Amino acid sequence: SQTIHQWPATLVQPVGSPLSLECTVEGTSNPNLYWYRQAAGRGLQLLFYSVGIGQISSEVPQNLSASRPQDRQFILSSKKLLLSDSGFYLCAWTRQGNEQFFGPGTRLTVL
Amino acid sequence: AQSVTQLDSQVPVFEEAPVELRCNYSSSVSVYLFWYVQYPNQGLQLLLKYLSGSTLVESINGFEAEFNKSQTSFHLRKPSVHISDTAEYFCAVSDCGGGSYIPTFGRGTSLIVHP
């Protein structure tokens, strides 16, 4: 069966510090991968998606970036965090057009 | 382009009462339809989906949704809710023709079940 992992589960970082969140998927190959952010009391905001190794599409301009160094690994990064980067970050994978499978999420607090 | 509208941001209800969470969508192509549930501090989990066939789909925990093509709706219902159903519910659509890699989510409805 397929499994999706995210780490860390929680993170508290100062403004201006770097960020690296990791997502890995097991039990499937060549998945479409997604990074979402949920701000408090708001819906899902799609940040990035990837249909293959090294292929990244950005949905919103921001100080975040994403990379896909391996087929089942998706990394979200920032060189300098802003207060507005606080939120709940979710990784997900899918077979095109069908349901998405979400990871457990990372709660990021920027102080 | 697709869009999903969840008209109610919050739905309070008493335990054992019926509930309906509304979802309307717009799309120029045929779509798959989904409801996801999110418990506090967790990721989203698929509740039920409509891909084809019977327009009424059911989940294992008593929820059901009916695809109404003429009204472009996919409302979620449960005849008797439990305290444990308190969660955020998201409606979503995706292009079943494979033309887009990106599903479209509604803004979510917070279901609050009171004892």
Nearest to B90 among A44, A59, A104 (CB): A44
**Residue B19: which of B32, B28, B29, B10 has the closest Cα?**
B10
* Integer angstrom CA distances of residue A61 from A45, B87, B107: 12, 30, 20
Mean pLDDT of all residues in chain A?
Answer: 92
User: What phi and psi, each to the nearest 5 degrees, are found at residue B80?
Assistant: -155, 110
pLDDT recorded at residue A95: 74
Looking at residues B76-104, what average pLDDT do you find? 89
Q: What is the pLDDT of residues A81-97, one digit of tens each?
A: 999 999 999 999 987 66
Residue that is written with structure tokens 């997502």 in the block: A23
Contacts A51 to B, Cβ<8 Å: 101
Contacts B97 to A, Cβ<8 Å: 97
User: pLDDT confidence of B100, banded at 50, 70, 90?
Assistant: low
pLDDT recorded at residue A96: 61
Could you tell me which chain A residue has the CA closest to the CA of B39?
Answer: A104
Round to whole Å and give the CA distance between A70 and A54: 8
Round to whole Å and give the CA distance between A23 and B26: 32
Round to whole Å and give the CA distance between A90 and B108: 15
A104 near B CB under 8 A:
yes
Bond prior to A8 in cis (omega within 30° of 0): yes
Looking at residues B34-55, what average pLDDT do you find? 93
Q: What is the pLDDT of residues B53-68, one digit of tens each?
A: 888 999 988 999 999 9
- The number of angstroms, rounded, from the C-alpha of A20 to the middle of its chain's C-alpha atoms is 10
B51 near A CB under 8 A:
yes
Mean pLDDT of all residues in chain B?
Answer: 92
Q: What is the pLDDT of residues B5-23, one digit of tens each?
A: 999 999 999 999 999 999 9
Provide Rg for chain B, Cα atoms.
14
Nearest to B44 among A97, A102, A107 (CB): A102
pLDDT recorded at residue B101: 75
Cβ contacts of A100 within 8 Å, gap of 6 or more: A34, A92, A93, A94, B34, B36, B44, B46, B92, B103
Q: Quick check: helix, strand or coil at residue B16?
A: coil
Of the listed ranges A101-105, B26-30, B84-88, the least confidently predicted one is B26-30
Q: What is the pLDDT of residues A20-41, one digit of tens each?
A: 999 999 999 899 999 999 987 6
Under an 8 A CB cutoff, do A105 and B42 touch? Answer: yes
β strands within A17-99, DSSP E: 19-26, 32-38, 44-52, 55-58, 64-70, 73-78, 87-94
The pLDDT of residue A48 is above 90: yes
Under an 8 A CB cutoff, do B32 and A97 touch? Answer: yes
Residue B26 C-alpha, separation from nearest chain A C-alpha, in angstroms: 16
pLDDT recorded at residue A60: 81
Q: Quick check: helix, strand or coil at residue A54?
A: coil
B12 strand-pairing partners? B112
The pLDDT of residue B30 is above 90: no
% pLDDT > 70, chain B: 97
| Contact in structure between B32 and B50 (CB atoms under 8 Å) | yes
The pLDDT of residue B96 is above 80: no
Which residue in A47, A68, A100 has the most chain B C-beta atoms within 10 A of its own C-beta, making it the best mutation to test that interface? A100
- The number of angstroms, rounded, from the C-alpha of A54 to the middle of its chain's C-alpha atoms is 15
User: pLDDT confidence of B97, banded at 50, 70, 90?
Assistant: low
